Amino acid sequence: MSKEKIQICPEFYDIMPPEYRDLVEQATYGKEGRGWKDIGQSKELIEDHSLCAGCPESMAFRYILASLPNPEDTVMVGSTGCTSLVFPHVAVHNIHSLFGNQNAVASGLKRALSVRFPGRIKDVVVLAGDGATVDIGLDMTLQAWFRQEKFTTICFDNELYANTGGQESGLMRKGFVAKMAPVGKKFEKVRLPEIARESGCAYVVNCTVSKPNLVEKVIRNAVLIAREIGPTYLQLYTPCILEIGKNSMEGLQEMRDSEKPGERFRYYEYVTDSAKQFLAELEAKEKQTAAAAIEG
Amino acid sequence: MTDYRVVPGPEAYFTPSAARMGVVLPEPGEAHIEGVIVPEEKAMEYAARKLLDAKNPTLHPGPLVLWNWNEKAAKKAKAIKVLAECIPARIIPMPDYRPKYPKINPDVEINPNHPNLTIWHNKEDVCLFVGVHCHQANLSLKIIRGGTDCFTIAMCAQAGHEDAMLSFRDATAEKILRLAEWVSKLKGVPFVRPVDEKARGDGGDRYSDNVFVKLADGG
Ligand SMILES: Cc1ncc(C[n+]2csc(CCOP(=O)(O)OP(=O)(O)O)c2C)c(N)n1
Ligand code: SF4
C-alpha cells in the first residue's frame, strides 16, 4: 500500500461512508514525525475497538498505530486473542495468523517483502498476547529471534489468556488465581525479556503503556532497529481489567502501580552495542535536521 | 445440466452453493441467467430490464472500483456512475469486508458479512455488485439468496458467479457502459457516452479500449 493509492474515485466520493473520507483526508500516512500527539487531531488508524470498555489494550493499540514510522508500508501480524478483535478495525495491512504462528508467518512475510520490493522499506510488526507469544507460540517466537529475522515482536502482556476466560499463562505471576486457573500459579513469571536478549534480540524493552510518549519512543526505536540491525522485542503490560476485577477507569492506575521501582513492569531495556550506536547516530541526525530547520 | 435454478430467495438458512447444485460458470462471451448459460447480449437485455422494472434498483460497488488505484478502476467508476444515472439507481458502496460489528450503517454501506441488513433496510429488489473480490462476492451473494428476495446481478471481472441470479464475466468499463446503453435503449432514450476528462482538449490519444470518447471527436 502506498499513500498515493489511498484515493477514492471522484464519482464515489460523496457516497463513501464518512470514516473513509476522513481517513483519506486526515490520516497521518506519510506524515513526518507522526506520533501519539496526533491522536484526537488527525484521523487515527483505528476506528472503533471491540475490546472491553477501558481495556488498556485499546490505549496501547492507539499509541502503537500513531507511532509506527511508516504505516503505509507496514504489515502487522496478529494472533488469536483479545488483540485479534481490534485488527479488523485497523487501517494498516494486517494478517491474522493461526494462534502461536505469528513469528513464523512474519518471518516469511518479511523475507518475501524484501524480495518483492527490493530497495523499498517494508516494516513487519508482530502484535500478540502473552499466551500466543510465550506459551503456544514460544517455539516460533524463539526460532525467529535465533534466525535474526528483522522484525519487531510486541507482546501485550496481560498475564493470562484473557480471550478464553482467564487461563494460566507463562507470563502470569506466581500465586495469581484466575477465573479458569483456581489453584493459583505455581511457577515464576517467565523472564521473556531476558530470554529475548539471550536469543539475539538487538533491542528489548519491558514497560507499561501508561505513558504515551514512552510507548511512542520504544515503538519507533524497535521498528527502526529491526529494519537495520535485527529482531526487537517489546513486552508491554496491558492489564486485563476484567480478570483482575478492576473498573473501566482503573486500568491506568493499575499500570502506574505496576511500574514503580521494584515492580514487575518497571521500565528496563536491553540494547546491544550496535543498536546503541544506531540510536545515537539517529539522534545526532535528528538534532542536525532540527537545527537546520531553525536556521533555515 | 442441472435443473437447479438460482432464483431469488429466501432460499433457506443453509443455502447450498449453486456450484454444489450443478450450476456452472459461463465461457467468455457468455453469461448466465438463473444458472442457465446464455449469450452475453441476451443477459445484457435481461439485466437492463430487471434494473428498469425494479422498485429500488441499487448498485453496490466494491473496493476494486471505489478506490482510485489504477486507470482501469477509474474508468470503471465513471462507467458505473453513468449506469446508475441511466437507470436511475441508488449506489450503496461496499467499502470494507471487515466484520464491523455491531455498527454497520445500512443506510450508507453494505458489507459481505451481513449484506441482508442493507438489502432489507433499503427494500432492494434488484441489486448489482461490481468491483468486489470474488470470494467476498460469493459469501455475500449466498447470504442474500438465503435471506432475502432480492434479485442479484454480478458484474464480475473474472469468471463470473454461480450464486448470483445473473452473472456477467470479464467485466470492463466498456461492458458496464454497454449495459447502460441497453438500459437507455429499453427506455427509448438516446445513450450519451461519457467524456474522458483526462483526454478532454489535450489532443491525447483515445484509450485503447475506446471506452471514453474525446470531446474533439464529437463524443
Ligand atoms: C491453535 C489454537 N489454539 C487455541 C485457541 C483458543 N484460544 C483463543 S484465544 C486464546 C487465548 C489468547 O490468549 P493471549 O494470547 O494471552 O491473548 P489475550 O486474549 O490474553 O489478549 C486461546 C487459547 C485457538 N484459537 N487456536
Ligand atoms: S478480556 Fe481483558 S484483555 Fe480482553 S478486552 Fe477485556 S479487559 Fe481487555
Using a CB-CB cut-off of 8 Å, the residues of chain B touching A10 are: 68, 77
Q: What is the C-alpha to C-alpha distance for residues B93 and B61, in angstroms, rounded to an integer? A: 5
Percentage of residues of chain A with pLDDT beyond 90: 82
Instruction: Specify the 3-state DSSP secondary structure of B76.
Output: helix
Confidence of residue A190 (pLDDT cuts 50, 70, 90): very high
Strand duo B151-155 + B90-91: pairing: unpaired
Confidence of residue A29 (pLDDT cuts 50, 70, 90): confident
* CA A204 to each of CA B78, B100, B116: distance values in angstroms, whole numbers, following the listed order: 51, 35, 48
Mutate to test the interface with B, among A11, A13, A29, A47 (most CBs of B within 10 A): A11
**Which pLDDT tens digit goes with each residue over B139-176?**
999 999 999 999 999 999 999 999 999 999 999 999 99
Percentage of residues of chain B with pLDDT beyond 90: 79
Q: Cα angle at A238 between A234 and A243, to 5 degrees?
A: 140
State in Å: Cα A226 to ligand 1 middle.
26
Q: Is the pLDDT of residue B129 over 50?
A: yes
CB A251 within 8 A of CB A177: no
Whether A15 and B108 lie within 8 Å, measured CB to CB: yes
Neighbours of B189 (CB within 10 A): 10
Using a CB-CB cut-off of 8 Å, the residues of chain A touching B74 are: 9
Segment A4-22 shows an average pLDDT of 90
Residue A9 within a domain: no
**Which pLDDT tens digit goes with each residue over A129-149?**
999 999 999 999 999 999 999
Instruction: Specify the 3-state DSSP secondary structure of A96.
Output: strand
Neighbours of B217 (CB within 10 A): 10
Q: What is the C-alpha to C-alpha distance for residues B26 and B160, in angstroms, rounded to an integer? A: 7
Tell me if chain B has a CB within 8 Å of the CB of A15: yes
pLDDT value at residue A153:
98
pLDDT value at residue A32:
82
pLDDT value at residue B101:
62
**Residue numbers of the domain that contains A220:** 53-295
The CATH number linked to A64 is 3.40.50.970
Ligand lying closest to the C-alpha of residue A81: 1
pLDDT value at residue B192:
86
Q: Is the pLDDT of residue B211 over 70?
A: no
Ligand 2 in reach of A178 Cβ (< 6 A)? no
**Which pLDDT tens digit goes with each residue over B92-125?**
999 988 877 657 899 999 999 999 999 999 999 9
pLDDT value at residue B212:
57
pLDDT value at residue B201:
44
Domain count of the fold of chain A: 1
Percentage of residues of chain B with pLDDT beyond 70: 88
- What domains lie within chain B, and their CATH numbers? 30-210 (3.40.50)
ipTM of the complex: 0.88
Mean pLDDT of chain A: 94
pTM: 0.84
Which among A153, A144, A79, A76 has a CA at the least distance from the CA of A107? A144
Segment A210-236 shows an average pLDDT of 98
Q: What is the C-alpha to C-alpha distance for residues A218 and A258, in angstroms, rounded to an integer? A: 18
pLDDT value at residue B216:
34
The greatest distance separating any two alpha carbons of chain A, rounded to the nearest whole angstrom, comes to 66
Residue A190 within a domain: yes
